[in-house]
A and B are shown apart, each in its own frame.
Chain A
Amino acid sequence: MPEDKKEIVGYRQQPGKLDFTRPGSGGSSPNSEKRDPSMIPQSQGGELDQPWGPHRHDDLVTGRIIGKRTPLIDSRWKVTGQAVYGDDVRLPGEIIGRLVRSDRHYAKVLSIDMTDVESIPGVLATATGIDAPSAFGVLPVTKDEHAMALEKVRHIGDIVACVAAEDEETARLASAAVRIEYQDLEPIFDMRDGLKDSPDPIHDRDIYHIGESNVQKRVFQRFGRISDLKNSIASYENEWTFKGVNHGFTEPHAVVAHWDPRGRLTLYTPQQVPHYVHRALADVLDIPMHQINVHRTYVGGGFGGKSDPFPHEMCAAILARKSGRPVRITFDREEVFWTNRGRHPSRISMAIHADKEGRFSGIETDALIDGGGFASFGHVTTYYNGVLHTAPYEIGAFHYTGARVWTNKPASGAMRGHGAVNSRCAVEVGIDHISEELGVDPIDLRLANLLPPHSATITGFRVTSIGMRECLERVRKESGWDKKFRKMPLGKGIGVGCGFFISGSGLPIHWDPNKFPHATVHLKIDMDGGVTIHTGAADIGQGSDTVVGQAVAEVLGLPMDMIRIRSKESDTSPVDLGSYSSRVTFMNANAAVSAAMEVRSELIEAASLITGVEASCLVLGDRRIFNKKDPAVGVSYLQALHKAQEDRGALIASGSYRTPPMGKMHKGAAAGLAPAYSFSAYVAEVDVDIETGRIKVEKVWAAHDCGKALNPLSVEGQIIGSCHMGLGQVISEEMKYGRTGNLLNPDLLGYKIPTVHEMPEVVPIIVESNDPEGPFGAKEAGEGPLLPILPAVCNAVYDAIGVRTNELPLTPDRLYRSIEKACKQQGIKDPRDLPNPSLEQTPLSDILIRRAKDHAKRDRERRLNPNPDAYYNGQLFNRHDTGPPEENDPDWTVQVLPDQEYLENPKLAGSAWLHKERRHMEGVE
């Protein structure tokens, strides 16, 4: 190729050397591509197979980008080092803030002496708790945090004061010169102690305080036919211990605060939920929200750990206000662990019962979770530990008691798979145990107990699309399950686990009577033809900007290079509730589709005016609008756009999404309620060194039902990444606390995140169940895929060496102790002589396989039926109700408060109900 003709690609494209776009088409490619029939659904006359039936967005499909492997639209910024993360924001005149942290577990702050600090040259501002006494917190019902400690410090690392100085060294020196006088209080480290009355509860909730204890939240739920709960021929009962897990995102928290000359605050922060920071800043700084611009920088990983409004963000704003200079605060890795908000350390008692027909007659869960020093998302976590294992299986009865307690440790919070991960692990291991007792294959047992599409769970969640059956069948086939399960030599094993997760929360955290939408997307298209999308959704690396862009590009038939996203500033983006609870693809892409539909109809109308073709006959293709019966008749996108712009200028559209009303009415019914649910099934193959207890996970077949993979590249990335994070929790990651309550490993050396060598080969399998409400059928893929890896590995370890565990992570020392115990119990000296588990199938097996076959047929019919009959959890147990079973069956319980009988013999977390709230105590008004 001659030098001057050489194609120039890359991020710095030279002006003048690229072909100019031909007038009329728009976009960088000169010719419009033909519609690709293999991308157009059958319902629209295309060739795209639709085994799950048509979708409400089918007529919007232009075949451009949905379903194609699409690189993240910001990836070139990231690979060139141009992406600006929290600590990369450098403003002129910036100074450095440093936080002064408590070195006490639990103490009253008697005095804070700043005299030495103020004498250090270069110190420009100091602040303490009294500078910002307003409380904040991510949930409006549990605002228990302050910018800095007001009266007491609640854990080592709690923020007491902050300083700002010309440079980092001076700031560090100054922070060391703050003299604080404490009076120590008796700290609590064991979550079980939090259930008891204490002379000094860690927080005081006034009349709503539960006794004098450290119980922050308690839940009691009973559903279904409790009388049959223990009507079983096989049971699993075990007490699980799960350690705390940190998100381990690579970017430490960082924030820059700047008050501009008009007196407005701009806060640059890597946040998953800029809107809650926006609200909290207004409360804490006591200024109206419109005086604040929250600027989300690139986020170097979130996973739930950057979704609370944080004290350090408040501190930066306070220091900047006091000093009149921009203030930057960057954490070191240790501070990230003090801030934590990771997965709750938990003690979960799990009991599962199966009856003689191989049905799950009851699940009893008791979950005590260790919240650390603050509430964070804990209110929700307490519910999620129970309600998120009421599917995908049909169950006869469900009894959940949960409690979250405060302890003097860094706060736990939301982390990928929020609240569902630990109890799901216990459930799936329990099912593995039950299938062993029943003498059936665990996949057969699961397949015979699945809820069908368009059904309601026992707690009243509305399940629409469900691809669980396909997930299980795919991993069974691809892993060669039937040839391997219980047939591999000692030390090698294979195990299965399933998952179920929400795709967006039905009730927004800031419940509002004004019916604000959950997500809003604005579009602006001017005569250049490029589409500017304004969304508040926080791209934290999961690719939300990309997916929102894809949705718009698909509807308008545009290439991705005509799409630009503006999602960073609260000044320009519509309010969005943030990147958590796996809501972004579902809600924002839905909002984007409805905004794009508005523009689309304007374009079609304009095209109809130009061509004289009836609007209903016009369709969109690649930058072209044409008559679907005679594709030669049509206009280019730009012609139609310019016609539509006559007398009005740029096209502006706004689209929004709000979940439909759903669910039951009992207290707590909204927790876990979602417009759609994702399902997943994994098979893991492991190699266990029985003499050392070391586990090597060899291969994972990971099937996830994400409804429709809008961007398969991202979905696979999410599945593999989830495997990695879950694998860490199951083999190596734990926040270790010593006997005196000190965190022993607040660094990435002692906190063991799997490296490339620990990662198994993951075979991602995408199952597309075509959700009726999801954008183009999509559901979440970010959190659900994490759940099954834990039980799949635990079950594979059992298959390998016949040892059941009830404590994670399965570090070699811990697993070897279990192996030693098993040897002792069976009188075996050499662990290599342990019996290898085997499976002898009982006649129940055939019954289950037949039932699974019938159910598969039932499910196929239901998913293709536009108006299927109502199906409430309970039909498998011979209830054929057209309404919730509790309306017809007096034995069918819905109970959310414990009765006297329960309180006489409560389980661990259930004992939180022995306390009375202060307002119900005698003598309290």
Chain B
Amino acid sequence: MASHPLPLAGNPPVEVWTASVNGKQVQTIIKNYDVLLDVLRDGIGSLGTKRGCDMGTCGCCTVLIDGKPRLSCMTLALEAKDRQVTTVEGLSDGHHLHPIQEMFAECGGSQCGFCTPGFLVTSAALLETNPTPTRQEAMDAIEGNLCRCTGYQQIVDSIMSASKILSEGIQNKPITEPASDPDPGFGG
């Protein structure tokens, strides 16, 4: 397999990168060719954003830049400089899950959960601009995200339920009793 010669010679040009990530001002040093995904994961430790394919085909790395879904593996970090970046970690207000998170958990929208962060931010952006999408609109919104577990149906169900909660102004109340404790494992 061909190796990947990278522009490594000498000292790569570095820059100070500043942005608002999940409402918090961050500052870190990046190489100017770093993609946003690497900066989020390795630079500021926002590990909720996932790397699935590195070429913009799976949607796992989707984040919101100024509220719009963007593939962070295909976005140079510099493009997001001084802008508002929202990852899955920024959806919740800390006390309540965002309705879309609650509903993905309740309606089976998440199985293995690896594609979930991408779906969540994409759907949250949809509900921000269109709080009452039709099923077709919901499907159109997530067409750039691949999920291998759910077959999408329960994901669309989750989006529709979240939309109902948002539009009817119901406090996001769990349908069932609080979930039990899985093995949080490393770092949990």
Binding site for B on A (CB under 8 A): 6-14, 28-29, 68-85, 87-90, 101-103, 156-157, 169-170, 172-173, 175-176, 247-252, 268, 295-303, 330, 332-334, 338, 539-543, 545, 549, 553, 559-568, 713-714, 716-717, 720-725, 747-749, 753, 755-757, 759, 761-762
Contacts and interface: CB of A to CB of B under 8 A. Distances in A.
A907 B132 CA distance: 60
A302 B180 CA distance: 24
Given A12-B95, A565-B182, A747-B57, A173 B154 contact: no
B104 A252 contact: no
Contacts of B184: 77, 82
Interface string B84-120: 0001110110111100011011111011111111001
A79 B186 contact: no
B18 interface: no
B50 A251 contact: yes
Given A90-B47, A762-B151, A173 B6 contact: yes
Contacts of A298: 112-114, 185
B111 A717 contact: yes
Contacts of B49: 81
A170 B12 CA distance: 13
B16 interface: no
B35 interface: no
Contacts of A300: 50, 112-115
Contacts of A103: 1-2
A706 to B, nearest CB: 15
A301 B96 contact: no
Given A11-B97, A81-B117, A299-B112, 10 more contacts: A29-B177, A71-B179, A83-B113, A559-B177, A561-B177, A563-B180, A720-B150, A720-B154, A725-B151, A748-B55
A580 to B, nearest CB: 15
A89 B186 contact: yes
B133 to A, nearest CB: 13
B179 A76 contact: yes
Interface in B125-169: 139, 142-156
A543 B111 contact: yes
A103 B2 CA distance: 7
Contacts of B67: none
A644 B96 CA distance: 39
A906 B179 CA distance: 58
Contacts of A156: 1
Contacts of B89: 80-81
A159 B176 CA distance: 48
B73 to A, nearest CB: 11
17 contacts: A7-B171, A9-B96, A9-B178, A10-B97, A71-B105, A74-B113, A80-B88, A81-B47, A88-B47, A90-B47, A250-B148, A543-B111, A566-B183, A725-B148, A747-B57, A757-B139, A762-B151
Q: Which 9 A-B pairs have the closest CB atoms?
A: A81-B48, A541-B112, A300-B114, A78-B113, A176-B3, A724-B151, A74-B182, A75-B105, A720-B151
A753 B174 contact: no
A747 B53 contact: yes
A565 B4 contact: no
Contacts of A749: 55, 57
A803 B105 CA distance: 43
A79 B54 contact: no
A757 B140 CA distance: 8
Nearest to A303: B148
B79 interface: no
B181 A73 contact: yes
B70 interface: no
Contacts of A563: 180-181
A713 B108 contact: yes
Contacts of A545: 182-183
A69 B102 CA distance: 15
B142 A756 contact: yes
A157 B101 contact: no
Interface string B44-78: 01111111111101101000000000000000000
Contacts of B45: 90
A759 B153 contact: yes
A565 B108 contact: no
A326 B172 CA distance: 42
B46 to A, nearest CB: 8
A714 B111 CA distance: 9
Contacts of A6: 171
A299 B112 CA distance: 6
B13 interface: no
Contacts of A170: 8
Nearest to A539: B182
B105 A78 contact: yes
A82 B188 contact: yes
B4 to A, nearest CB: 6
B82 to A, nearest CB: 23
B187 interface: yes
B24 interface: no
A28 B146 CA distance: 38
B116 A79 contact: yes
A405 B101 CA distance: 47
A7 B173 contact: yes
Given A79-B120, A561-B180, A301 B186 contact: no
Nearest to B101: A79
B21 to A, nearest CB: 13
Given A90-B47, A175-B3, A562-B180, A542 B146 contact: no
Nearest to A299: B112
B5 interface: yes
A238 to B, nearest CB: 29
A358 to B, nearest CB: 35
Nearest to A764: B153
Contacts of B58: 250, 748
B153 A720 contact: yes
A759 B135 CA distance: 13
Contacts of B110: 72, 75, 78-79
B105 A564 contact: no
Given A71-B106, A247-B148, A565-B180, A80 B57 contact: no
Given A10-B96, A75-B104, A249 B112 contact: yes
A79 B4 CA distance: 34
Given A714-B108, A762-B153, A251 B52 contact: yes
Contact of B188 (A84, A249, A541, A553): A84
Nearest to B111: A541
Contact of B176 (A28, A70, A296, A562): A70
A106 to B, nearest CB: 15
Given A80-B48, A334-B1, A717-B108, A89 B187 contact: yes
B110 to A, nearest CB: 5
Given A72-B105, A298-B113, A748-B53, A250 B60 contact: yes
A565 B183 contact: yes
Contacts of A81: 46-49, 87-89, 117
Contacts of B149: 301, 541, 717, 721
A72 B111 contact: yes
A306 B158 CA distance: 28
Contact of B151 (A8, A13, A759): A759
Contacts of A559: 177
A301 B115 CA distance: 10
